Amino acid sequence: MASVSHQPVQGMSDIASPDIALWQMIEQRARGIFARYRFSEVRTPVLEKLELFTHSLGDTTDVVTKEMYMLEDRGGRKLALRPEGTAGAVRYVASGGEESSNARIFYMGPMFRCERPQAGRKRQFHQIGVEAVGVPNPLADAEVIALQVHLLSAWGLEGAEIRLNTIGLPEDRAAVVSGLREAIRPRLHELPEEARQRFETNVLRLLDSKDPEVQKVISGVPPVIEFMSAASRAYLDTVIATLRKLEIHVEVDASLVRGLDYYVHTVWEVVHGGLGAQNALAGGGRYRIDVGGKRIDGVGFAMGVERVIAALEATGITAAQFAPPPPVFIVSLGEAALNENLLLMQMLRQRGVACEMELSARKVQAQMRRADRSGAQRVIIRGDSELEKGIFVLKNMIDGTQQEVELPELMCALEKS
Ligand code: HAM
């Protein structure tokens, strides 16, 4: 029979020990911060109706047209693996799951985008995100950014920068698009073919192009805010003033546009110098999504966990620092001791001591090698002769010393450590 490949799907990874320690630290600390800001967790399905994403993210966005994993189930229903968490979270709020005038939710989990895999870009990646729904107010935008900064510091991540911009309201869009086109038109011939098409289809996306030829043309264009209404400018001013009051530093970046259509007003990205070309740790912004006959206004962000980890590692923080405490290892000699040691191991575990032992009767040397590999700093050795005498040999693996002890002494030594 042909054997099946043990490789996961390209661009997707198994995440396990020892790396998992860093993931657990990130998730645990995030939960602590979310509790303080009164956000509660939602776990929405990984699979949603395709139309939820085409409608809310925008049916001409790259995520929808090029990256989404789409499938038809056996009943012919069109579904998609979620490429991000906002659409599902908002659908959940619209379904009546939360008060849509003030819902504060967070999520953690896998997202899927069929992009070309490269450093920092996976096909299954993980986001930790928050959405504050209702409260269409610039103070809510600032509060969510403050939460994000708090999260970064709880993780011990230094060197992250926030770039912030506004994309205004849908009512501003026509003025922004025609203003940008007017400003670019005299130099249109300098743009490469693909950019000239973008000029027609989505001129805003030219602003964040990485192509140096496009950047040269764009550098002379006025910031989008100049084409926006007074109300949209005032909104951004309040967000910036509030952040200043909260002593949160952001870089206003007129070239920042986000790749999803649901945004209105404030948008931002968190970048980190320790990452390569894919330097965005997180993306966020205020959005407006019509779902289930309701218009949902919200503001939120999502951090890419793989990128947070890469940034932490670039600053010298590693999984080893968060590894679980070493276990106590029990070595047995003889059948009777093996059975009694099983009881001892359960008793120690009940008392909060992490414990491991070899369950098949193997030579002492083999058991000691396994003890070593487990990282144990203390080993209990009990064979049939110790059993008869009612004693235990407690070995210190760091200095190699060992002593014979009775049960009360053994418990005392292990519970203290
Ligand atoms: P996004 O900018 O598309 O925004 O993704 C957020 C973050 O997810 C990115 O900054 C990045 O760290 C991570 N990410 C995205 N794609 C990949 C990938 N292929 N591989 C690894 N990491 C990736 C959103 O998803 C919005 N839903 C954010 C939001 C929430 N806006 C408002 N609320």
Helices (H) and strands (E) in the chain, counts: 14, 16
pLDDT for the residue numbered 410:
96
What b/e sequence results for 314-351 when a residue is b if at least 16 CB atoms lie within 10 Å of its CB, and e otherwise? eeebebeebeeeebbbbbbbeeebbebbeebbeebeee
pLDDT for the residue numbered 97:
82
CA of 161 to the centre of ligand 1 (A): 16
Q: Write the DSSP symbol of residue 121.
A: B
Written as one letter, the residue type at 359 is L
Cis-peptide, bond into residue 18, ω within 30° of zero? yes
**CB within 6 Å of ligand 1 — which residues?**
84-86, 113, 115, 121-122, 125, 127, 129, 131, 280-285, 287, 300-302, 304, 306-307
Domain with CATH 3.40.50.800 in the chain: 325-412
Say if CB 307 and CB 280 are below 8 A apart: yes
Q: What is the DSSP string of 203-229?
A: GGGGTT---HHHHHHHTTSPPGGGGS-
CATH number corresponding to 325-412: 3.40.50.800
Q: Residues near 145 by Cβ (< 8 Å), separated by ≥ 6?
A: 162, 164, 243, 248, 250, 268, 284, 301
Helix (H, G, I), strand (E, B) or coil at 333: strand
CATH number corresponding to 20-169+228-320: 3.30.930.10
Q: Residues near 235 by Cβ (< 8 Å), separated by ≥ 6?
A: 138, 166, 265, 266
Domain with CATH 3.30.930.10 in the chain: 20-169+228-320
CA of 84 to the centre of ligand 1 (A): 7
Q: Residues near 214 by Cβ (< 8 Å), separated by ≥ 6?
A: 191, 192, 195, 206
pTM exceeds 0.85 for this model? yes
Count the neighbouring beta carbons within 10 Å of the beta carbon of residue 79.
18
CA of 417 to the centre of ligand 1 (A): 42
Which residue's CA is minimally distant from atom 9 of ligand 1? 282
Say if CB 291 and CB 52 are below 8 A apart: yes
Q: How far apart are CA 122 and CA 338, in angstroms?
A: 47
pLDDT for the residue numbered 68:
98
Mean pLDDT in consecutive groups of 10 residues from the start of the chain, 417 residues: 90 96 98 98 98 94 94 98 98 90 96 94 98 96 98 98 95 93 94 91 88 91 94 97 98 92 96 92 97 94 98 97 95 95 96 94 92 96 95 96 96 84
